Amino acid sequence: MRLEGKIAIVTGAGSGIGRASARLFAEQGARLICADLKGHDETAAEIGEAAIAIQADAGSDEDVQDLVQAALQRFGGLDVFFANAGISGGLASIFEQSAEDWQEILRVNLIGPFLAIKHAAPAMKERGKGSIICTASVAGIRAGAGGPAYSASKAGVINLVKVAATQLAAADIRVNAICPGLIETGMTKPIYDWARASGKEDRLGHLNPLKRGGEPEEIAGAALFLASDESSYVNGHALVVDGGLSIS
């Protein structure tokens, strides 16, 4: 059991990568809070008594504080915060996006991880160590994998974890990011639906050397590694899990 005795919060736990990660964390011995705007109840119900479902907006200061308080009150501590919730905004061009679109995408995708780090760290200091994982994206590394606001938000996450890692290292709190490539989830459903409807499934993942899209469980495995003590010397890192998309 790689997370035996650990207490975790997973945001975006109602779907896709967050749901797969919540399941895997629980299978590996964690007790956890499944947080989302929707779908979190189903995930927690599937997991059983190790999980609590809480409806929370990952970009809300108050909601993220409440999640941490809930972990302390219901489970007695916090070891892992997987700040995974995100929205894409589609593949719009700069001219198609408004300032309001940008504000909402940055609020959820970048301010959300900032709030997770800010509010999780004091609770983790009480435990003597902790691991914070933020979901970035290959779109934060290269152009062409997301719209402008999405890509900028994910690039911000990659740098945020480096800054936070340096500031929290003295408390033995590690902060890392995961950069998924194309993964079949609720977020990418329109792309998969289009490819299947038009007989172009072979186009999914055609840009990466493995020539396929990824599964949420393949990102959950990376999250488990970063959450567990196996990654005790990994800090401030952006772990790319993309079938090789970013190098091709």
Tokens representing 186 are 């609720």
* Catalytic (active site) residue 192: no
Question: 19 near 11, Cβ under 8 Å?
Answer: no
Distance CA 147, CA 199 (A): 25
Q: Which is nearer to ligand NAD, 154 or 166 (CB)?
A: 154
Tokens representing 6 are 């650990």
Q: Which is nearer to ligand NAD, 1 or 159 (CB)?
A: 159
Distance CA 53, CA 26 (A): 13
Within 10 angstroms of residue 51's Cβ, the number of other Cβ atoms is 24
Distance CA 57, CA 12 (A): 9
Q: Which residue do the tokens 């800054």 mark? A: 163
Q: How far is the CB of 117 from ligand NAD (least distance, A)?
A: 15
* Catalytic (active site) residue 233: no
Residues that bind ligand NAD (CB under 6 A): 11-12, 14-18, 36-39, 57-59, 84-87, 108, 135, 137, 180, 182-183, 185-188
* Catalytic (active site) residue 137: yes
Q: Which is nearer to ligand NAD, 16 or 236 (CB)?
A: 16
Cα four-point dihedral sign 207, 211, 216, 219: negative
Q: Which is nearer to ligand NAD, 84 or 131 (CB)?
A: 84
Q: Which residue do the tokens 């779908």 mark? A: 39
Active site residues: 137, 150, 154
